[in-house]
Structures are given as structure tokens and as C-alpha cells.
Structure 1
Amino acid sequence: MTGRTDTALIIGDMQTGILANYAFSRAPVPPMRSLVHAARAHGILVVFVRTELRASGADVSENNTLFTAFHQAGPLFHEGSGETDIIPQLAPQPEDVVITKRRTSAFAGTELELVLRAHHVESIALTGVATSAMVAGTLYDALDRDYRATVLSDACADAEADVHDFLMARIFPGRGARVMTGESWLSEW
């Protein structure tokens, strides 16, 4: 099959600790499994992004109440805890890339853009949890960096279903992103 070297599938925060502690985060797993399998088969770069904080708290400012709460919640987001590992159902393969982030956006302070540029990626398909956090933050950064962005609605989830629906129906398309199901995205190949 011909490789799609201009495209990357980004999967955010599908970590063992998150899925064990937040029931809403389990819903996107079945479509993600199909997407990851198909992306690899079509030569699309698969990028896993995970949130990981230093156990010492050196990367958490008291000014950032959200990440302070994450850090203080115990090892759920602590580097090396095992809870930040990508879930086994989506196990990264040697050809995949795993990016560690320490903020909401997958671009903030990471090597994601370097990896995407090295692979000549111009289009991303974005998935993950939570829609109102990682997905939204990464999407806005991607659009500001001139990537063509598609959000795969059934491969994202949020603790607040109405917020997920509002972002997918109104906000993301209004920002210039395409929103579609994973199956629709796959059918374009």
C-alpha cells in the first residue's frame, strides 16, 4: 500500500491510569484500535502522546492549579509510575512515536513538531481524551502551526458529553478543523 507520509494519527492520553480511573475515557478504545491498525497498514505515522509529570514536582508551577492537582493526586500522572503507560490495547510498535507532554497541548514543550516536520507531515488526525483538554489544546496549537487538522469524533471523549458534542459540532469546525468519525476518515483512503 502506498504510504501517506504527509499524514499523522495522533492519539492522546490513552494511559493505563486514566482509563482505570475515568470511565468516560474507555469509549474511544474500539475505534482507536481500528484506526491504529489501518494507519499502520497505510503508512501513516502513529503518534502516541502521554501526560507525565516529574514525581518531584519540578515541572509543576503552583500558578497552574490543574497540573498541581494532577501532581498531588498521587502517581496517576507521575513519571515512571506505570500509570502513564499507553494502554496495552493500543500498544505502541517500534515504528510508532511516543511523545511525553507535561501540559495540555501535545505541542507545548515537546518534540512533537520536530517529529512531524521530520516526517513531512502536513495533516493530522487527532484523537484522545479529554476532548475539552488535550484534544482542544492540541488542535488549537496545530491550527496555529498551519497543520490541516481533522478531529475524529468517535475516537475522542470527555467527562461532559454535552461539552464534547458542542466542541465537535460548533467550536472545532469554527476554528477550521474537519470533524468526522474514524470510519469516515478511513473511507477517504
Structure 2
Amino acid sequence: MTGRTDTALIIGDMQTGILANHPFSRAPVPPMRELVRAAREHGFLVVLVRTELRVSGADVSENNTLFTAFHQAGSLFHEGSGETDIIPQLAPRPEDVVITKRRTSAFAGTELDLVLRAHHVESLALTGVASSAMVAGTLYDALDRDYRATVLSDACADAEADVHDFFMERVFPARGARVMTVESWLGAL
């Protein structure tokens, strides 16, 4: 391990299929590109998270109506479809970590916590789509696991702008997260 390993940049669900089918998800790409460049420059761990479900549906419970709908909606979240690939603008490098999740939170049923602790990470900078789903779920899990968490507001997006704003202005700060713009966070490095 080289560089600073106390901070990780987490980028969630920036997948080719999501960006192709949900235009709101494209807005965070330019700030994310700058974040990835700066994180690597500062020796931070870069973690790219994607949602992927088994084609057979073995990992989808009928009790989970959201993920059942995701699975039944075609190949958008199916393993091996190509639609779950991280977008080329954020292509992982060998030193980056790619986490495959099968639920909303990047911690649920994944090795994310293990990887972060192996790198002695204590602080997370969280980005991704959607603000009210992946970002919120991962943030709550991170805070419950005693990570310091910052959500980078302009590197997140939600289908509804007012929902995004509500989470950034009210919900996340009330839960104990810092909310900053990418420019502010980079300026504090």
C-alpha cells in the first residue's frame, strides 16, 4: 500500500446502463472525473461500486419488490450484460477496488468494510446515484460502522432535484455527515 490510506473515495452506481437509461445520472460525471484524479494524486483509495444481480434471480427475494422489479426490467442490472460496467470516464485502474453489490447499500453483503479496514480507512468521501438510494443507504451503513463521512453534493444526483436537495440539506447533515461541494472538498485537501 502506498500513499494516504486513511481516506477513500466511493463512487456508486456509475454504470453504463444506468447512465444510458437515466439522464439525471450523467450530471455528476465531470466532478467525479476531477475527484478520481485528485484522489489518486493524494493516495486515497478509489472504490467503484456497481449493482449487479444474477441472471437466474437467485439473489432476489420476492419480498424485496424494488430489486425484483430491477431484475425483471431486463438486463440493466444483470451480471455479464455489459450494462453493469463502470462507465469508461471513470474506468478503474489496477490499484482501485471494484465492489459488486446486490442491494442498495455498498456495505450490504459485500466486502467493502473489510477492504476499507485493510487500508486503515477512517474517512469516506461518498458520491453516486441516486442520492436517496445508493448514497443514502451506504451513508447510513458507514455512519453505523463509525466512519467519518462526507457526501459530495455535486457528485451525486437523484431523479428528482428536490429529493436530492432535501437529502443534502436536511437528512444527511442531521445524520452526522458533512455535505460539501467537490470544489470545497478538493480545496481542503
Structure-2-length-normalised TM-score: 0.98
How far does residue 19 in structure 1 lie from its aligned partner after superposition? 0.1
Q: Which residue of 2 aligns with 1:146?
A: 146
How far does residue 183 in structure 1 lie from its aligned partner after superposition? 1.0
- Superposed counterparts of 1:99-118, under 5 Å: 99-118=99-118
Q: Residues 41-86 of structure 1, C-alpha deviation per residue, up to 9 Å, x if partnerless?
A: 1100000000000000000000000000000001000001000000
Q: Kindly indicate whether residue 172 of structure 2 is the aligned counterpart of residue 172 of structure 1.
A: yes
**Where do 5+ consecutive residues of structure 1 fail to align?**
none
Query: 1:118 is aligned with what amino acid?
Result: A
Q: Which residue of 1 aligns with 2:67?
A: 67
- Superposed counterparts of 1:10-25, under 5 Å: 10-25=10-25
How far does residue 104 in structure 1 lie from its aligned partner after superposition? 0.1
Q: Which residue of 2 aligns with 1:81?
A: 81
- What percent identity do the matched residue pairs reach? 89
How far does residue 3 in structure 1 lie from its aligned partner after superposition? 2.8
**Whole-Å Cα distance in 2 between the matches of residues 182 and 98 of structure 1?**
22
Q: Which residue of 2 aligns with 1:36?
A: 36
**Whole-Å Cα distance in 2 between the matches of residues 184 and 45 of structure 1?**
19
Query: 1:66 is aligned with what amino acid?
Result: L
Question: What is the DSSP-based 3-state SS (H/G/I as helix, E as strand, rest coil) of the residue aligned with 1:36?
Answer: helix
Question: What is the DSSP-based 3-state SS (H/G/I as helix, E as strand, rest coil) of the residue aligned with 1:146?
Answer: coil
How far does residue 4 in structure 1 lie from its aligned partner after superposition? 2.4
Q: Kindly indicate whether residue 53 of structure 2 is the aligned counterpart of residue 56 of structure 1.
A: no
Question: What is the DSSP-based 3-state SS (H/G/I as helix, E as strand, rest coil) of the residue aligned with 1:77?
Answer: coil
Question: What is the DSSP-based 3-state SS (H/G/I as helix, E as strand, rest coil) of the residue aligned with 1:127?
Answer: strand
**Whole-Å Cα distance in 2 between the matches of residues 39 and 147 of structure 1?**
18
**Whole-Å Cα distance in 2 between the matches of residues 23 and 134 of structure 1?**
17
Q: Which residue of 2 aligns with 1:93?
A: 93
Question: What is the DSSP-based 3-state SS (H/G/I as helix, E as strand, rest coil) of the residue aligned with 2:124?
Answer: strand
Large movers: runs of 4+ above 4 Å: none
**Whole-Å Cα distance in 2 between the matches of residues 4 and 127 of structure 1?**
19
Aligned pairs, how many? 188
Q: Kindly indicate whether residue 6 of structure 2 is the aligned counterpart of residue 6 of structure 1.
A: yes
How far does residue 5 in structure 1 lie from its aligned partner after superposition? 1.2
**Whole-Å Cα distance in 2 between the matches of residues 3 and 57 of structure 1?**
40
**Where do 5+ consecutive residues of structure 2 fail to align?**
none
Question: What is the DSSP-based 3-state SS (H/G/I as helix, E as strand, rest coil) of the residue aligned with 1:76?
Answer: coil
**Whole-Å Cα distance in 1 between the matches of residues 179 and 5 of structure 2?**
21
Question: What is the DSSP-based 3-state SS (H/G/I as helix, E as strand, rest coil) of the residue aligned with 2:76?
Answer: helix
